[in-house]
Structure 1
Amino acid sequence: MENKGSKIEKDLRIEKIKISDVATYKENVEINDLRKINFFYGSNGTGKTTISKIIASPNNYKNCEVKWRSDIKLKTLVYNDDFVRNYFYQSENFPGIYTMGEGAKDIEEEIKKKKDELDKIKEELINLNETIENKEKEKTQIQDNFNEVCWQSLYLKYQQNFTEVFKGYRNNKKNFADKILLEYKTNHAAVKDYGELLKEYNIIYNQTLNKLDEITKIEDTLINDVKLIEVDKILSTSIIGKENVDIGKLIHKLQNHDWVREGKNYLENSFIESEQKYICPFCQQRVDKDFKHKLEEYFDETYENQIKNLESLNDRYTGVKKALEEYYQKLSTIQNNQYFNEKKQETEEKFRLLFQIMSTNIEKLKEKKDKPSIVIELESILEILYEINEIFDGINREIHNHNNLIKNRKTEQERLESEIWHFFCNEISQYIDTYKTNTSNAEKALNSIEGKIEINDQKQVDINTDISTLEKKIKSIKPTVEVINKLLDHFGFKGFRLEALDDDKHYKIVREDGSPAKENLSEGERNFIIFLYFYNLIQGVLDPAENINDDKIVVFDDPVSSLDSDVLFIVSTLIKKLLKDIRDNNSNIKQAFILTHNVYFFKEVSYISSRKTYNKRKDTIYYIIRKKDNISGIVAYEENPIKSSYQLLWEEIKRKDVDKVCIQNAMRRIIEFYFKLLANLDEETLINNFENEEDKKICRSLVSWVNVGSHEIFDDINYSPNFEEIEKYKKVFQKIFEHTKQIEHFNMMMGIEKPVS
């Protein structure tokens, strides 16, 4: 059936083959840019059959991969040694090949409609699979972007500060991002700021830290004493004598109570015993005892008691100051307490202000003591004392937490780590929400597309079932017998033919008289009939339940082995027709691989046109397989690189990376072919033209094949060059052409232009 121009026809095929660690493919090899028609040329043992086996059964090669376009695999038919062995040697008869019979035009027309419908579904599936691939890439990019955000914003930012928390996530961005997502979903720890977390972390994970003693606060008794001193009424009392004493009126009038009180003290020390008089400390006049008595009466017991209260108050305040100074001194001895040290400057400033105020207050008390009649007011220090104790309360809370952390280190580590992960999640919560939204959208799109694919897959199954049911009505194995026998007869193979068995399921090979012929076929006859069998299998199916029109790819691995030139030409012609149908989209074969070591067959089957430009096609590519040091490699060419076997030998010599064994054999075969053709090589004369013994030895190793033949074993010639000697071989090789006056031929084949004279 023809189906030209369909997009599905162009798209479905193998687009890449990866080969590694199998046979002579010791190093990774990727065959990219595969096209509809793919030619592979390589000598025996270079690795052609390995490629055909990988295409046939990729699952058998764990380090290799066959990549299908849009991940849609097609039926694959491979002609190689395995196929010959399975179908010719391991069973007595050939399984029958079912193809379409004649006389079923209406059914064929209905099948064609079904096939067209199936192609549309396949095309839609390709588009859906491409959309899925793009969505998967989008989803992967979303994940990669999120991984990078987590890594840059959290890991790189905090790795030095929270080293222990990052254990297990240091070398894998994906694992780290997954941990963040898990914590975001399940973590309900308390929210703390970075500084608080870091402080706790440095405690919990610092194994050298010990418990700390709490700071002793300023005692309440001392504070209460200050409170009482500051409100003592004596401070606001003007301490004076009795006003109803004679001299009291004068003292009150003059307001010189403190001056008189001070004079009284001097008066008591100026008594003259002989005169029973006192000397006034102010006017130096004699005064009698009665004046002194009046002074004592003025400064009575009440006055003296008030003075004593004032002095006591002064002593108490001085005592408080001394106690606070001693307390402050003890604070200065505290060491290795980070929480106290953090507040040390603030505490020192409080105490500096405290002592400054107290010193001022002591001066006021001293003045009051000297002048009891004045009224004073002390500046309060209570607020400062309370503030100091509040600072120490805060410090002690920190110390308490510190000690608890050390006491319950393991439990606290688990708690803290949970809080740190929660902190991380909060740090990038907006990115997490964006990631979850974008991922959810991508997954919804993927689910929708996958649903459509599932529907189309079921449609494919249903249509294939319909096609299979229709084909069963007109499928038969007999048309294949007729086609193969007609070809055998047409090409002169008269001694045997194919015959369908009575079960209408198998073929046997028979002679003209009907006797079995399989066991005594020549190698060439065997290879030709098995090739014809495979060629017809491409057009049919082995199981009548299968669809004949299923899309497929075919692989030919050295199909002309042991065939003479006439049959080789026949095989080439049949394959070329198949390739033309593929190029013209006139076949359900979507891709072909041709692998061979036969230069003549390669040239025949790959020939398209004598016009050079026409041989470079977008639907065709060429590969050369070479083996160096028992390691295979593959090089791709847009144009056919094989001109002839003779040219190919010269191409080997031109290569810079030529294998040491290959160059030796290539040189020998060139000399054998060229000089046998000319028949004018005198081996001994040629060898004697070389003066250097080593050059003579190289020359002898190269020309010996001319006389004895290239397919014999030479026990006496075992000279094989190493890498350093390859250049010597090339020089001797060139000298051979110089000494035989054939240097023009050498220059032509090597592409050396004659210098302009």
Structure 2
Amino acid sequence: MIKSIKMVDCTPYHQIEINECKKINFVFGANGSGKSTISSFLSGRQDQRFASSSVEWDGVLHESIYVYNRAFRNENFQQTIPGVFTMGSATIEDIKALEELKKQLSDVQGDWEKNTSSYKKIVDEDIPNCETRFKEKAWNDILKANENDFQKAFEGYRGSKDKFLGEIKKRIAGIPDHEGVVCQRSQLIERARTLYAEKSVRCNRLVVDIQQLLSVIEAIRTDSIWNTVIVGNEDIDIAALIKELRNSHWVDQGRTYIRLGSKKCPFCQKETIDDDFRNKLEAFFDTEYNKKINQMKEHLTNFRVSSEKILSSIASVVLDEESVSVGKLDIDMYNAKQELLNSLFEDCEKRIEEKIAEPSKKINIFNVSDKIAELQKLLDDANKIIDDHNTLVDKRDTEEEKLKDDIWASVIDQSKILINSYEKELSDLNKAASGIKKMLDIKKANIDKLKAEVSEKGKNITSVQPAIDEINKSLKAYGFTNFTIQPAKDKENHYCIERDDGTMATNTLSEGEETFLSFLYFMQQSKGSTDPNHVADKKIIVLDDPISSLDSTILYIVGAMVKELSKNIRDGIGDVTQLFVLTHNVFFHKEASFIDGQTKKVKDVNYWMIRKDNGISVITSYGMDNPISTSYELLWKELRDNDNLTMISIQNTMRRIIENYYGMLGNKKNEYLENYFSEPEERMIARSLVAWINDGSHSIPDDLYIDSYTDAVPKYKEVFREMFYKSGHKAHYNMMMGIEDTAEIEQV
């Protein structure tokens, strides 16, 4: 069934919506208010003005819509009319068999519709909701949580959640062009800082060129002289004493204080030095001894120079602050190791000095290579970072893309729980949808099979003749005896309209005859179809002013037919599932819509009313409350509730009220009402209002609203009120206008 109808930007509607449509729907509105616009739209006509209008269906299966309106009458009043195929007088067994097939088809279609609803819920709601939840979660937990550190990696996606979700899906799918490596966050941040900096440049490596100096230090350290006992010539007789006293260094220093030509000993200050002793001392400290002493002194000098250069080089390398910063050199650790190395060098110098002072002493010189290696290790680690930095700078474009891929891979890896949960939920939903889809395909095949069987069965037991018989029977019953419907002689399964003498009556029928005949023809279509393959199809019927030119007798007949159709729809009898009745005629509305002559609510029936003001129509829903009880009450309701009545509309409304009320009382003289007014203007207004009482017109009121406006409206309302007040019918006026007046009780 149709759930709602939305009319947008199509004259005379700006935007209206007929919501919560039921099985039976009555829409009341004056001529020109826009009823035919609705019926034209529902007929499916291709018209650009309906481009923004739409129908919302309550369910997956969409019934065929049959529309009766002026266009239907024009299209079907030709020389020949397509025949309507119906069951007619088929045997009970044939009809029962067909009905059983139709029931099977209905049951399968019902199951198919339920499964389709489940499928559509998964596809249209559950899966999109799953995607939306993941999109929101990913937006907050992945992008927002990382964009401060990796802003540039998310460029192009930070302004659109949908684009970001699309990129996430591509990355999750592992598209080859975007394969990244999961890295530690700190590394990614550092790479990002280098690559995304406004002016990132190459940095110098932290290099200490001390290898040659270390070779000198190592050669000095490994010289065997440090483990050699250095003494004078042992062939001299004083050698034994010097060796035993182990004071050759002391003696050597003392002899430098012996003055030339002096015999005084520099130690005891006695004249014990003669030329013979002097010669023995010189002979003890021979050339070899002095050579070794000088060698050690030279080593000491070279050691000092080399160690100072090493320390200077080590200290100067860290003056490059940019490289130290980029390489993340631990400057505190570096300085500490540098201080330790300096202490070791000082200790080595001290030991060498001691050896020179006491040549007979053996010493060990520390090996500083381990400490140098520790310092070099710090520099090597920093240089590796610097090299990586320089590589990034040298290959910015390539490295930026690689960094981007690594960032995405890493943040996705960090969100594995979220992503796995989403993928599992999505997989489960897709599996469920796939399972239901397979079931739907099987049931759809079964539906097509049953439809074919119904169609084939219907072909064998349907014909156009029963519809001819039904229409002719109705025409005769209602007094249309000067023409009949007959099978067309030159066109199979078509009708033609013939006079009794056999001539065609198509162009000689009155408007009322055409309208009634076309309505009977249309009602036969509600029982069948002009296509024998669609006799059993479910239908929605739209009736747009079916009695606009009919007399009062036919009005009640058509009303009764519509009422019977409504009852069958509510009871589930026949193939019509929903009815829309659009009319401007209050009497027809009353006859067609009132249930058992009463105005009680029916759950399957809803009511609407269309009103037009300043060229724009609006629609008001009354739910299950019928807004029209009688034509007389409707006239008062228009006067009471509609503040936008125009001059012409208010005149017509007031005249009809006066005609109905005072006509019923038997007061038909103008003077009866006019004489209550003494002012000429008021008498003129009163005369215009009572004019219809004497014109002999008692036709069904058609037009209730005509667009116009004038400032005289308040004066007309005042005269109208006074007409009732002055004629003694104040209580009736107050009652109909909803004015409380308990002082008077109307006696009518």
For Structure 1 versus Structure 2, the TM-score category normalised by the shorter chain is: 0.7 to 0.9
Cα distance in 2 for partners of 1:627, 1:341 equals 81
Cα distance in 2 for partners of 1:95, 1:441 equals 53
Q: Which letter maps to 1:122? A: Q
Cα distance in 2 for partners of 1:739, 1:249 equals 167
Greater CA drift, 598-607 or 241-250: 241-250
User: Does 1:618 find its partner at 2:603?
Assistant: yes
Q: Who is 2:222 aligned against?
A: 231
Give the paired residue count.
708
Greater CA drift, 172-181 or 75-84: 172-181
Instruction: For residue 751 of structure 1, report the CA deviation from its aligned partner.
Output: 4.2
Instruction: For residue 79 of structure 1, report the CA deviation from its aligned partner.
Output: 1.2
For the residue of structure 2 that corresponds to 1:71, the secondary structure is coil
Contact 2:632–2:657 (Cα < 8 Å) also in 1: no
Matches within 5 A, 1:658-697: 661-662=644-645, 669-674=652-657, 680=673
Contact 1:41–1:595 (Cα < 8 Å) also in 2: yes
Q: Which letter maps to 1:128? A: N
Cα distance in 2 for partners of 1:87, 1:672 equals 39
For the residue of structure 1 that corresponds to 2:191, the secondary structure is helix
Of 554, 558, 582, the residue aligned with 2:569 is 582
Cα distance in 2 for partners of 1:351, 1:628 equals 97
For the residue of structure 2 that corresponds to 1:100, the secondary structure is coil
Cα distance in 1 for partners of 2:299, 2:219 equals 10
Q: 1:718 to 1:328 in 2, by over 3 A?
A: same
Of 64, 67, 78, the residue aligned with 1:75 is 64
User: Does 1:197 find its partner at 2:184?
Assistant: no
Contact 1:499–1:508 (Cα < 8 Å) also in 2: yes
Instruction: For residue 303 of structure 1, report the CA deviation from its aligned partner.
Output: 3.8
Q: Who is 1:315 aligned against?
A: 301
Q: Who is 1:217 aligned against?
A: 208
Q: Which letter maps to 1:309? A: Q
For the residue of structure 1 that corresponds to 2:531, the secondary structure is coil
Cα distance in 1 for partners of 2:333, 2:679 equals 107
Q: 1:302 to 1:125 in 2, by over 3 A?
A: same
Of 603, 609, 623, the residue aligned with 1:638 is 623
Contact 2:2–2:21 (Cα < 8 Å) also in 1: yes
Q: 1:257 to 1:463 in 2, by over 3 A?
A: same
Q: Who is 1:84 aligned against?
A: 73
Matches within 5 A, 1:207-286: 208-237=199-228, 239=230, 241=232, 248-251=239-242, 253-256=244-247, 258-265=249-256, 267-268=257-258, 271=259, 273=261, 276-280=262-266, 282-286=267-271
Q: Which letter maps to 2:402? A: R
Of 514, 517, 521, the residue aligned with 2:505 is 517
Q: Who is 2:98 aligned against?
A: 111
Q: 1:103 to 1:336 in 2, by over 3 A?
A: closer
Contact 2:329–2:379 (Cα < 8 Å) also in 1: no
What are the superposed Cα offsets for residues 318-360 of structure 1, whole Å, 9 maximum, x if unpaired? 2233213432453244243342355444433433433344344
Q: Who is 2:406 aligned against?
A: 419
Instruction: For residue 114 of structure 1, report the CA deviation from its aligned partner.
Output: 1.4
For the residue of structure 1 that corresponds to 2:31, the secondary structure is coil
Cα distance in 1 for partners of 2:397, 2:691 equals 88
Q: 1:315 to 1:74 in 2, by over 3 A?
A: same
Q: 1:518 to 1:711 in 2, by over 3 A?
A: closer
Q: Who is 2:170 aligned against?
A: 182
Q: 1:221 to 1:578 in 2, by over 3 A?
A: same
What are the superposed Cα offsets for residues 587-643 of structure 1, whole Å, 9 maximum, x if unpaired? 22111112223333223222125666x41x332222233445544444433322413
Cα distance in 1 for partners of 2:22, 2:129 equals 30
Cα distance in 1 for partners of 2:393, 2:613 equals 68
Of 383, 392, 396, the residue aligned with 1:396 is 383
Contact 2:351–2:363 (Cα < 8 Å) also in 1: yes
Q: Who is 2:142 aligned against?
A: 154
Q: Which letter maps to 2:390? A: N
Matches within 5 A, 1:306-385: 306-337=292-323, 338-372=325-359, 374-385=361-372
Cα distance in 2 for partners of 1:295, 1:359 equals 34
Provide the aligned C-alpha RMSD in A.
3.9
Q: Which letter maps to 1:99? A: T
For the residue of structure 1 that corresponds to 2:14, the secondary structure is coil
Contact 1:646–1:670 (Cα < 8 Å) also in 2: no
Q: Which letter maps to 1:642? A: P
Cα distance in 2 for partners of 1:686, 1:262 equals 159
Q: 1:69 to 1:670 in 2, by over 3 A?
A: closer
Instruction: For residue 277 of structure 1, report the CA deviation from its aligned partner.
Output: 2.2
Cα distance in 2 for partners of 1:339, 1:400 equals 10
Instruction: For residue 538 of structure 1, report the CA deviation from its aligned partner.
Output: 0.5
Q: Who is 2:478 aligned against?
A: 491
Contact 2:341–2:368 (Cα < 8 Å) also in 1: yes
Query: What is the TM-score with the length of structure 2 in the denominator?
Result: 0.83
For the residue of structure 2 that corresponds to 1:15, the secondary structure is strand
Q: Who is 2:133 aligned against?
A: 145
Q: Who is 2:28 aligned against?
A: 41
For the residue of structure 2 that corresponds to 1:473, the secondary structure is helix
Q: Which letter maps to 2:200? A: L
Instruction: For residue 171 of structure 1, report the CA deviation from its aligned partner.
Output: 3.8
User: Does 1:21 find its partner at 2:6?
Assistant: no
Cα distance in 1 for partners of 2:238, 2:517 equals 161
Q: 1:301 to 1:495 in 2, by over 3 A?
A: same
Q: Which letter maps to 1:595? A: L
Contact 1:652–1:666 (Cα < 8 Å) also in 2: no
Q: 1:33 to 1:381 in 2, by over 3 A?
A: farther
Contact 1:499–1:510 (Cα < 8 Å) also in 2: yes
Query: What is the TM-score with the length of structure 1 in the denominator?
Result: 0.82
Contact 1:39–1:623 (Cα < 8 Å) also in 2: yes
Contact 2:210–2:310 (Cα < 8 Å) also in 1: no
Q: 1:650 to 1:159 in 2, by over 3 A?
A: farther
For the residue of structure 2 that corresponds to 1:535, the secondary structure is helix
Cα distance in 1 for partners of 2:448, 2:315 equals 95
Q: 1:323 to 1:592 in 2, by over 3 A?
A: same
Cα distance in 2 for partners of 1:387, 1:627 equals 96
Cα distance in 1 for partners of 2:12, 2:229 equals 119
Contact 1:218–1:389 (Cα < 8 Å) also in 2: no
Cα distance in 1 for partners of 2:429, 2:400 equals 38
Q: 1:745 to 1:563 in 2, by over 3 A?
A: same
For the residue of structure 2 that corresponds to 1:168, the secondary structure is coil
Matches within 5 A, 1:700-715: 706=689
Cα distance in 2 for partners of 1:684, 1:559 equals 43
Contact 1:248–1:298 (Cα < 8 Å) also in 2: yes
Matches within 5 A, 1:420-459: 420-459=407-446
**Structure 2 unaligned regions, length at least 5:** 663-671, 693-700, 744-748
**Structure 1 unaligned regions, length at least 5:** 1-12, 690-698, 722-728
Q: 1:508 to 1:610 in 2, by over 3 A?
A: closer
Q: Who is 2:468 aligned against?
A: 481
Q: Which letter maps to 2:312? A: E
Contact 2:686–2:720 (Cα < 8 Å) also in 1: no
Of 526, 541, 552, the residue aligned with 1:554 is 541
Contact 1:218–1:385 (Cα < 8 Å) also in 2: no
Contact 1:94–1:508 (Cα < 8 Å) also in 2: yes
Instruction: For residue 153 of structure 1, report the CA deviation from its aligned partner.
Output: 2.9
Cα distance in 2 for partners of 1:622, 1:740 equals 32
Cα distance in 1 for partners of 2:450, 2:485 equals 34
What are the superposed Cα offsets for residues 267-298 of structure 1, whole Å, 9 maximum, x if unpaired? 24xx275xx22352x44434414555555455
User: Does 1:55 find its partner at 2:46?
Assistant: no
Instruction: For residue 379 of structure 1, report the CA deviation from its aligned partner.
Output: 4.2
Instruction: For residue 129 of structure 1, report the CA deviation from its aligned partner.
Output: 0.9
